[in-house]
Amino acid sequence: MSLSKLNTPLPDQFPRSSGVLMSVTSLPAPYGIGDIGLGARDFIDKLASAKQRYWQVLPLCPTGYADSPYQGLSSFAGNTNLISLDDLVANDWLTAAELANHTPFDPELVDYGTVISWHETQLQLAYKRFEAEPVNGKHHLAFEAWCADNSGWLDDFALFIALKEHYNLVPWTQWATAEAMRVPKALDAARHALGGRIAEHRFRQWLFFWQWMALKQYANDKGVRMIGDIPIFVGHDSCDVWVNRELFDLNDDGSPRFIAGVPPDSFSKTGQRWGNPLYLWDKHQATGYTWWIKRVDAALGMFDLVRIDHFRGFDLYWQIPASDDTAVNGLWLPGPGRALFDAFGAARVSRIIAEDLGNDLGGAIDLRDDLNLPGMIVLQFAFSGTETERKRFDPKNPASNFIVYTGTHDNSTTVGWWANTTPAERKVVASFTNSYEIQEPNWLLIRLGMSYKAHTFIVPMQDLLGLDDRARMNKPSVTGGNWSWRCTREQLDSPLWDRLRAMTEQCNRASQ
């Protein structure tokens, strides 16, 4: 379907509006990583003051390999390193003096090793104090009720993490065979031996979701809606795969036969070898896509809207032999197509955003349009992408059912991108914006994105701040140094919010 045919009336949940993309980990906070406490509430206040409707975040799952939120340890659990430790002081589970006793953290980068170790110590202490409270007290009663409501994923996850710690964090395929293959007697023995640690991990998940849902309510009360992110694939070393081996393309020992990624493209000449195991879609279909429905329901319980990453994989996905070092020798295979979304039902589908980026999308575009899902436009690709991308993301695009971004977490920042553009690309940018002496390329693209016909515009925080590529969040196909950028308190308190509000109002995107 052509882009011009997508200029349909805006759905009620997508009025003309704008927002900011900001990882929770990047927020200013005193303990080495952003959290879901005071700093997050302050960020929401700033969004509201600038008349922004959306805060889009990266996945909030507990991270595994390379600290990537797209290689999570669970699709259902929360990252407990994001728990606000300061908010635990009010419950007497920690003290201000204890939290003040730490070596300085880097305010501009997350040092995951140091951060995780320090937060582990504080969360252990908080649990001991919680455990000492009366079992019939309000906290214990609330905790037990929440655990019962979430037992469908929580019990397996708490056991998985306790076993992973027991085996010094190695992948589950390297555990004792009986536990790796989930032999019932072995799991019963593990539950008995690791019972204390299992209970503690349940407590941490309760804290995370207690704080997160309070934060979401705070945002909604301020007129800010939360956009979450569902990676299409899950990490191999995850509770998801360990519990549901029959739903994934694995060898008998649990190792993946084939893995996910994409072929060579503008990001990488050898493609992207993500390493995630592939789904056995026929097995999912036989269950009525039950696991996927639970996964989407969990996300929709946390967010107002969710973006599903790598939407094209539902039409065709790239199968890479697990033994290959690159993604070059892959094969396109059919995904579940419309059947999966029919199983979701209209109410769920109405809250989904399709991450429909990439070359030669073919049937994925037809699927997106058939479902009337909002797609994505990335402005950097409108000028520096492939010929297909430039045509698709043309600023004259009349379609409305899109979300426009200056860039995403996988792109250079706009200032970093601009530094590497060619004279010809800059000339095209100038022709579209009528700006020929460009001093602030980030604000130029923000203004351009705001002016699109598309119903929604979202800008990464780094572009609001005008930061170069040292603030880039992720470089695809590079495993080190990603996901670590942090926004300082001074940066967050800059006058940019007044400027953003004025531009938002001028472009008729102000949240009411």
Which pLDDT band, with edges at 50, 70 and 90, does 389 fall under?
A: confident
User: Does the annotation mark 437 as catalytic?
Assistant: no
**Among positive and negative, which fits the CA dihedral 421, 485, 75, 353?**
negative
What's the domain range around 417?
1-22+377-512
- 5/300: higher pLDDT: 300
Task: Supply the DSSP string of 160-215, one letter for each residue.
Answer: HHHHHHHTTT--GGGS-HHHHTT-HHHHHHHHHHTHHHHHHHHHHHHHHHHHHHHH
User: Does the annotation mark 309 as catalytic?
Assistant: yes
**Per the residue annotation, which of 45, 108, 366, 410 is the catalytic one?**
410
Q: Residue-wise over 433-461: b if at least 16 C-beta within 10 A, else e? A: bebeeeeebbbbbbebbbbbebbbbbbbb
Run of H or E including 276: strand 272-277
Q: Tokens for 38?
A: 């005071």
- Does residue 394 sit within a domain? yes
Does the pLDDT at position 385 exceed 70? yes
By DSSP bridging, strand 456-460 and strand 17-21 are: parallel
The pLDDT score that the predictor gives to residue 334 is 97
Q: What number of helices (H) and strands (E) belong to the chain? A: 23, 12
**Per the residue annotation, which of 309, 315, 389, 463 is the catalytic one?**
309
The pLDDT score that the predictor gives to residue 11 is 52
pLDDT mean over 77-93: 97
- Does residue 449 sit within a domain? yes
- Does residue 492 sit within a domain? yes
User: Does the annotation mark 179 as catalytic?
Assistant: no
- Does residue 422 sit within a domain? yes
In the chain, the percentage of residues whose pLDDT exceeds 70 is 97
Closest CA to 458 of 373, 353, 366, 386: 353
**Per the residue annotation, which of 87, 179, 240, 355 is the catalytic one?**
355
Does the pLDDT at position 10 exceed 50? no
- Does residue 288 sit within a domain? no
Count CB neighbours of 9 within 10 A. 7
Which pLDDT band, with edges at 50, 70 and 90, does 12 fall under?
A: low
Task: Say what the pTM is.
Answer: 0.95
Q: Tokens for 144?
A: 């037990």
- Does residue 134 sit within a domain? no
- Does residue 273 sit within a domain? no
Give alpha helix (H) positions in 28-175: 38-49, 86-89, 96-100, 112-131, 138-149, 151-166
pLDDT mean over 254-258: 98
- 2/232: higher pLDDT: 232
The pLDDT score that the predictor gives to residue 9 is 43
Instruction: Tell me what percent of the chain is helix, strand and coil, each rounded to the nearest 5.
Output: 45, 10, 40
- Does residue 472 sit within a domain? yes
pLDDT mean over 350-371: 92
Say if residues 457 and 463 touch (Cβ distance below 8 Å): no
User: Could you give the CA distance from residue 315 to residue 249 in angstroms, rounded to a whole number?
Assistant: 18
Count of structural domains, the chain: 1
- 7/413: higher pLDDT: 413
* pLDDT tens per residue across span 203-227: 999 999 999 999 999 999 999 999 9
